Amino acid sequence: MRRRVVITGMGVIAPLGNSVDELYNAHIEGRNGVDFIRLFDARRFPTQFAAQVKNFDLGQYVKEPERWADSGANSRFAAAAAQQALADADLLDNHKVDRTRCGVYLGSGEGIQDFNNLVSLIAQTYQASERKVNAAAFAREGLRRFHSGREFEQEAHTTPGHLAAYFDLEGPNYNCLTACAASSQAIGEATEMIRHGDADIMLSGGAHSMIHPFGMTGFNLLTALSTRNAEPGKASRPFDLNRDGFVLGEGSGMVVLEELEHAKNRRAPIYGEISGFGTTADAFRVTDSHPDGRGAVACIQQALDDSGLAPSDIGYINAHGTSTQVNDKAESVAIKKVFGSQAYAIPVSSSKSMMGHLIAAAGAVELIISLKALNRGVLPPTINYEVPDPECDLDYIPNVAREQRATHALSNSFGFGGQNVSLIVSRFRG
């Protein structure tokens, strides 16, 4: 029999909560985490709002916050969420556990570019008539203006590297970045590493913030974001007919994954089990997901096959549900293809309606919300659901949380480029 992988710790930093309970309770209350951007002056951007993390102070979580002094928000969120998850799992300074068998597998975003220095420097060295930047002038000034620490911390391996160094996790160390599917993919592959015996414990999840000028620019240019500037709180409306794009969020979600016997032997709390993982590619277009949900169907099916569960065993689906026209339709089509007529009986909701899209970190935070929902027996709603879309006709738990018992939840994550990941998380049963 293959090694079973359970969740023994969880931590989050997210727009509606800087702890798992605070976040879950906000989602059950159907609160909205979207507001005008305060991190920079976005008043003249096509999109002027986002779901930002609030009241965050890294010093509340780690003793040496200065280690992250030059890091971007992604690494700082990651450190705080990791501290919560490891404390929850009793793995802080716990030397009874073989630290060489504890690894890290994140799906974290890149750091944040030094927008002001880069743009002002390009402005100064760009020769419009030739459409060229004077490379020598750019280099000469760049070497003076850019900050070495901040530049280094943009590299994606620094996020898992700091966690391993600070929390003493000396096993395998990975970061994957498959756009909006990244942290789900990380949790899936980390689960496989434990199943295979490459580690007994993996700290896994993701962290990301793209609420910065380049991030907003990139998504605005792709016309992927909602531009409902008149009412930001209504902007993220997955599956609603009048949805017009997604809303950027930011944050981190971390779980401690552990081999079942290992967890039992050290009497760790067991919150749930990762029972299924599927990952596929659309191989269709870099911008759009496949209209028939081709890759998503195969991915959900793969996760079901991996879990050995029947479609009817799934009692809740935490959708990718971005609030874009294309995703929500294709995802609904995919769910119907896999679950057939039963699809209408399975409650589906999108956490992004409340906290926006955490990009690389989205999947991990949504998995944590899903597991809390299973354990508490209350399923979070999809808020801002006002006008049903005939092409999205499933039960999206509109606006109000629902008391309903479920044992197994499916959490979907799909990313630009056609990246699909599905995870199945289950209430723990010995």
What are the catalytic residues?
Answer: 180, 320, 357
- Virtual CA dihedral for 90, 91, 92, 94, nearest 10 degrees? 100
State both tokens at 248.
């950027």
42 contacts other proteins (rule: CB under 8 A)? yes
Q: What is d(CA 352, CA 381) in angstroms, rounded to the nearest whole number? A: 10
Residue 320: name the closest of 338, 335, 302, 303 by CA: 335
Report 400-429 residues binding other proteins (CB under 8 A): 415-419
Q: How far is the CB of 250 from other proteins (least distance, A)?
A: 17
Cα dihedral sign for 311, 315, 320, 323? positive
Q: What are the residues whose beta carbons fall under 8 Å from the beta carbon of 148, sequence distance 6 or more?
A: none
Give the nearer residue to other proteins in terms of CB position, either 52 or 384. 52
Q: What are the residues whose beta carbons fall under 8 Å from the beta carbon of 34, sequence distance 6 or more?
A: 15, 49, 50, 51, 232, 233, 235, 236, 247, 356
- Virtual CA dihedral for 263, 174, 71, 109, nearest 10 degrees? -110
291 contacts other proteins (rule: CB under 8 A)? no
Q: What is d(CA 408, CA 316) in angstroms, rounded to the nearest whole number? A: 7
| Segment near other proteins (CB under 8 A); pick from 167-175, 259-267, 319-327, 338-346 | 167-175
Q: How far is the CB of 228 from other proteins (least distance, A)?
A: 16
Q: Which of 18, 83, 84, 158 binds other proteins (CB under 8 A)?
A: 158
Instruction: Count how many Cα atoms sit within 13 Å of the Cα of residue 309 in the half-sphere of its side chain.
Output: 25
| Segment near other proteins (CB under 8 A); pick from 8-16, 59-67, 117-125, 321-329 | 117-125
Q: How far is the CB of 117 from other proteins (least distance, A)?
A: 5
| Segment near other proteins (CB under 8 A); pick from 71-79, 113-121, 367-375, 387-395 | 113-121
Q: How far is the CB of 145 from other proteins (least distance, A)?
A: 6
Single-letter residue type at 117:
N
36 contacts other proteins (rule: CB under 8 A)? no
Measured in whole angstroms, how far is the alpha carbon of residue 60 from the centre of its chain? Answer: 22
- Is 9 in a helix, a strand, or coil? strand
Q: Which of 34, 62, 97, 164 binds other proteins (CB under 8 A)?
A: 164
CB count within 10 Å of CB 37 equals 20
Single-letter residue type at 262:
H
Report 8-27 residues binding other proteins (CB under 8 A): none
Give the nearer residue to other proteins in terms of CB position, either 220 or 407. 220
Give the nearer residue to other proteins in terms of CB position, either 153 or 366. 153
Report 71-110 residues binding other proteins (CB under 8 A): 100, 103-104, 110
| Cβ-contact 105, 193 below 8 angstroms | yes
Q: Which of 69, 122, 310, 400 binds other proteins (CB under 8 A)?
A: 122
Q: What is d(CA 91, CA 111) in angstroms, rounded to the nearest whole number? A: 27
Q: Per-residue x/- mask for other proteins, residues 206 to 245, rule CB under 8 A?
A: -------x---xxxxxxx----------------------
Q: Which of 275, 302, 370, 422 binds other proteins (CB under 8 A)?
A: 302
Q: How far is the CB of 367 from other proteins (least distance, A)?
A: 18
Report 125-144 residues binding other proteins (CB under 8 A): 125-126, 128, 131-143
Q: Which of 22, 36, 59, 285 binds other proteins (CB under 8 A)?
A: 285
State both tokens at 350.
């999108």
Q: What is d(CA 113, CA 150) in angstroms, rounded to the nearest whole number? A: 8
Q: How far is the CB of 169 from other proteins (least distance, A)?
A: 7
Give the nearer residue to other proteins in terms of CB position, either 14 or 179. 179
| Segment near other proteins (CB under 8 A); pick from 71-79, 160-168, 259-267, 334-342 | 160-168
300 contacts other proteins (rule: CB under 8 A)? no
Q: Per DSSP, what are the bridge partners of residue 234?
A: none
State both tokens at 423.
């995870």
Q: Per-residue x/- mask for other proteins, residues 262 to 281, rule CB under 8 A?
A: -----------------xxx
370 contacts other proteins (rule: CB under 8 A)? no
